[in-house]
Chains A and B, each alone.
Chain A
Amino acid sequence: MNAPVVDMRGIGTCFGRRWVHRDLNLQVTAGEMLALVGGSGSGKTTLLRQMVGLLTPTQGQVRLFGQSLTGGNRIERRLLRQRFGMLFQHGALFSAFSVFDNIAFPLREAGVASPEEIRDLVALKLAMVEIDLADARHMPAELSGGMVKRVALARALALEPELLILDEPTAGLDPDRSEGFVTLVRDLHRQLGLTVVLVTHDLDTLAALATQVAVLADQRILAHGPVEAIMALDHPFVEHFFRGERGQRALAANAPGAQ
């Protein structure tokens, strides 16, 4: 497994006549926790959608685990898709399914686990994201915004994928849950050797989780490296994002010495 988990080369994205990305390169190696940061509208969500094959870039190619999402036969593609999970910015729970069925869905589709095992696994996933088992019969419309996020995370984790893609996972969570979420992802990372790509505006999450940071600005990956290296960068966005008062506070609290 020497190939990078995510390998995007020469990506160009054009909506109408506006270029969102131009000649963008991004590699994520196994076991990394990469935080993708960038201004609002800089194309982070778009990049994630291209990563998982929901959107085909205008130019360039995307490979996951060394495989192209469009290459290979149907079964290979399906197995490849089981190797990553995605948490959407707005949850994207199936509104016609209960919480339980939402999380059970990928397991049922895979057709490996028996019904009793699925029940246990769903209970386990719900416990992971700190959702009461009593809420399992609720419909997504009956959940609070933060709960939707957590159930969606549980669904993304259902198959315990090797690559977890998170679009603003902690937005809308209270600080406590946010911290719980960070701990959860860290645990999973350790246990399963997860690779995580996350988009976040939350510096606390970033500082606590990310081993690597990629800055998306000026239509490309401006810089990619450890947090400290990125912080030293001389760019208006970085300046504003990390070195504002808010950034300093978050980073100081999560500095290795502080823990």
Chain B
Amino acid sequence: MSAAEPTAPQLELLGEGRVALCGHWSHRDLTRSIATLRRALARLPRDTHWDLTSIGRMDSFGALVIWRAWGRTWPPHVALSPVVREALDRVAAARGESLPPQPRPRMTAALVLVGEGAFRLGRHATDFVALLGRIALDVMALAGQPGHWPLREITANLYKVGVQAMPVAALVGFLIGVVLSYLSALQLQTFGADVFIVNILGLGIIRELGPVLVSVLVAGRSGSAMTAQIGVMRVTEEIDALRVMGVSPYVRLVLPKVVALTLAMPMLVLWTSAVALLGGMVTADLQLNLGYGFFIQTLPRVVPPSNLLLALVKGLIFGLLIALVACHFGLRVKPNTESLAAKTTASVVSAITLVILVDAVLAIVTRRVGVPY
């Protein structure tokens, strides 16, 4: 479309204070020339004689541009067709109403923000406890009726969070084992303390690294998925639908996730630690010529079996925490996409933080358990 085409909006100065507007004054037609036309309109004095009769199509935007140029009042001399008058009338009628102002940020806003943050934290805590209570109540109600346990959902979740996580957990575990072993080997070699690599890897991976590594992985992989799923079900009112049918969303949605992840995590920890040790063992063999046989024989001697038990308990606790946090945030999603995104992020971040905090506490509490010497 060139500017010469008759549909293009134009402003013609006819001299003697007369102006004619022609062409189509619609949003699409004005796209190209809006800046020029705005400037031309602004230059015209108030007592101009306006001729709007040759305007073709005019929409609200075109009318608004002209109306604003007129300073939102009818000019004294104007000729127009009924259709154009109607469009201008509509724009004129909407005048006077303005949007309710957005609340302005005040000086005290920062203080309010801090206070709100504290309250929010408090609400989180009470809601979390409430969630625990609901689950406990529902479990007690279920205890009498074994037929009502959501076994299908539990097994389905077990498969999703457990079995399907195995490949990625193995890959990460193996690589971590290799890297850890390689770095330790470099250091130990300089002291001629090669054999101690079994102690380092065994204790480090089984006791600490395994559970925490898997937790981070699972929080990112399964925790986020749980939050998103429950969140979307809230957005689409599916949870309300469940409630109306008398099905407890806690039993049907929350409980299977919590049970499945609590059960799956110790197994995942076991699996990942084993693969990480394998990686470490392979590297130790390559780097220090420590035979596989020696590695496997030494391991149970230098790492007391209570460490394994500790790792499994940690897995259990972390799995429970991650699932609870994920469901907690999922149930707090408000019905909009922004909230869904925010809560999913919050779920992962909180779960990982919480796991590491609990891990630190456990490290102190169990400092006398399973450590030789």
Contacts and interface: CB of A to CB of B under 8 A. Distances in A.
Contact of B27 (A94, A112, A127): A112
Interface string A110-135: 10110011011111110100000110
Contact of A117 (B65, B90, B335): B65
A112 B337 contact: no
A96 B338 contact: yes
B278 to A, nearest CB: 45
B83 interface: yes
Given A191-B86, A191-B87, A160 B98 contact: no
Interface residues of B, number: 32
A178 B62 CA distance: 28
B68 A139 contact: no
A193 B57 contact: yes
Q: Which secondary structure dominates where chain A touches chain B?
A: helix
Nearest to B31: A112
A215 to B, nearest CB: 32
A255 interface: no
Given A117-B64, A133-B99, A192-B59, A95 B91 contact: no
B100 A120 contact: no
A160 B27 contact: yes
A117 B68 contact: yes
B83 A137 contact: no
A82 interface: yes
Nearest to B336: A95
A235 interface: no
B26 interface: yes
Contacts of A120: 64, 68, 91, 94-95
Interface in B38-92: 57, 59-61, 64-65, 68, 83, 86-87, 90-91
Nearest to A192: B59
A78 to B, nearest CB: 10
Contacts of B90: 124
B97 interface: yes
A83 B61 contact: no
Interface in A153-172: 159-160
- Most chain A Cβ neighbours within 10 Å, of B34, B57, B91, B97: B97
Contact of A140 (B30, B97, B102, B336): B336
Q: Which secondary structure dominates where chain B touches chain A?
A: helix
A133 B61 contact: no
Nearest to B68: A117
Interface string A194-236: 0000000000000000000000000000000000000000000
A252 interface: no
Nearest to B65: A117
A133 B68 CA distance: 20
A191 B83 contact: yes
A211 to B, nearest CB: 19
A189 B97 CA distance: 25
Nearest to A111: B31
A96 B97 CA distance: 25
Given A96-B336, A96-B338, A141-B336, A119 B99 contact: yes
- Most chain A Cβ neighbours within 10 Å, of B27, B83, B93: B27
A258 interface: no
Contact of A83 (B28, B60, B68): B28
B61 A121 contact: yes
Nearest to B83: A191
Nearest to B90: A124
B91 A124 contact: yes
A121 B99 CA distance: 11
A175 to B, nearest CB: 25
B2 to A, nearest CB: 14
B338 to A, nearest CB: 4
Contact of B97 (A112, A125, A133, A193): A133
Contacts of B335: 95, 141
Given A96-B337, A160-B60, A191-B86, A110 B68 contact: no
Contacts of A123: 94, 97-99
Contacts of A113: 27, 61, 64
A100 B94 CA distance: 15
Nearest to B27: A159
11 contacts: A82-B28, A95-B337, A113-B27, A116-B68, A120-B94, A121-B61, A123-B98, A124-B64, A127-B93, A133-B99, A137-B100
Given A122-B99, A127-B93, A191-B83, 8 more contacts: A79-B28, A82-B28, A95-B235, A96-B338, A116-B68, A120-B91, A121-B64, A192-B59
Q: Which 8 A-B pairs have the closest CB atoms?
A: A95-B336, A96-B338, A160-B59, A141-B335, A124-B94, A96-B337, A95-B337, A96-B336
Interface of B: 26-28, 30-31, 34, 57, 59-61, 64-65, 68, 83, 86-87, 90-91, 93-95, 97-100, 102, 235, 334-338
Interface of A: 79, 82-83, 94-96, 100, 110, 112-113, 116-117, 119-125, 127, 133-134, 136-137, 139-141, 159-160, 191-193
